[in-house]
A = this chain, B = another copy of it.
Amino acid sequence: MSGSQGSSARVGARRPLPTTCIIGLGLIGGSIMRDLDAAGAPVYGYTHSRSGMRDAAREGFDVSDDLSRVLSRASSDHALIVIAVPMHAVEDVLDSIAMYAPNCGITDVVSVKKPVDELVRARGMRERYVGGHPMSGTEDSGWGASRVGLFTRAAWAITYDYAKECEDAGRRVSADWVDIFGQVCELARVCGAEAVPVSVDKHDEAVARVSHLPHVLAEALAVVGDRGGTLAQSLAAGSFRGATRVAGTEPQLVRAMCETNADAVVKTLDEIIPLLQDARASLAAPEPDLEQLVGAGYRAVTRMGARKGARAESVSPIKISSRPVMRIQLGAHGWVKALRQTESLGGRIDVF
């Protein structure tokens, strides 16, 4: 990475993926390791899980439970470090990186970006950090749940607040940071995902709506459904299973994402609770009438479907992404503006 400093000829070129060092080998970290390995990219990692390490090693992966050694090795390799531990463990990992791998580029996969950004900022590491969040997962966790292809066609949110702030302050974004940004885009690409540039705040607000609120609703619905006892369970079909599936997620993970994004989740609850109260009032009326909510919900779903629109219905045998694509020359004039435009469209970027 440091070798590219000042090499203006390389600005804008697709960054080849360096060696990748993954810290944390659960569902997400493990699946990234599998994808990189399947693509022939050099990758190794750390896990604190004895069983995870044993199972990964048995499958031939290069894993260790010695964090300082793994990070020292990453430092020698100028590896890209992927932090794939739960939020509560990020702080310690950052401190270890500061100690053992002070030269490495850093990204992460934590589902809330603000608290990670704050920890990074507090350690003066922003110049070598690019936040990430692959939007894929299952209700299972741990190395045993990891698999090749977990991220296929998923959005991989990549933060660029640092570049915006540099630009707003009239400073040029460092070539190092541009390099790391490009490496994270390439990481997403190798994993089959689509790089979606996001601001930290907008990311956290969006995932509160489309991920954290659904988790809260799933937990509450599971409680209410369970109260119905065996008959209700026996009659439960697709709508219940679909709506409660994510309530089977490890509680610590659900708590971490909701509690660290509490402000944004509270706002979405303040939107949905009145909708449900109105529905309750409409149904309790002498002539129950749910037209308002059902009509609005159906229109919303239809609109969301229409946004995907023509592309998804293409006759091409190759499945085409529903996200608009913007070709970006990293570090070139106006590239941060292009990222902003792409973000406003929920688009993906293709780095060249």
Which residues from chain A sit less than 8 Å from chain B, CB to CB? Answer: 135-138, 154-155, 157, 196, 198, 202-203, 205-207, 209-211, 213-240, 242-251, 254-255, 258-260, 262, 265-266, 268-273, 275-277, 279-280, 283-284, 288-291, 293-298, 300-305, 307, 323, 343-348
CB distance from A296 to the nearest CB of B (A): 5
Q: If the complex has contacts A231-B343, A307-B230, are A294 and B219 also in contact, measured as CB distance less than 8 A?
A: yes
Residues of B within 8 A of A276 (CB): 216-217, 220, 269, 272-273, 276
Residues of B within 8 A of A296 (CB): 219, 222-223
Which chain B residue shows the least CB distance to A207?
B235
Q: If the complex has contacts A135-B237, A290-B254, A346-B230, are A220 and B304 also in contact, measured as CB distance less than 8 A?
A: no
Residues of B within 8 A of A219 (CB): 279, 293-294, 296-298
CB distance from A312 to the nearest CB of B (A): 12
Which chain B residue shows the least CB distance to A157?
B235
B224 touches A209 (CB 8 A): yes
Residues of B within 8 A of A221 (CB): 213-214, 217, 272
B250, B279, B298: the one contacting A251 at CB < 8 Å is: B298
Q: How far is the CA of A277 from the CA of B272 in the complex (A)?
A: 10
Residues of B within 8 A of A307 (CB): 230, 233
Smallest CB-CB A-B distances: 4 pairs: A219-B297, A234-B346, A226-B300, A230-B346
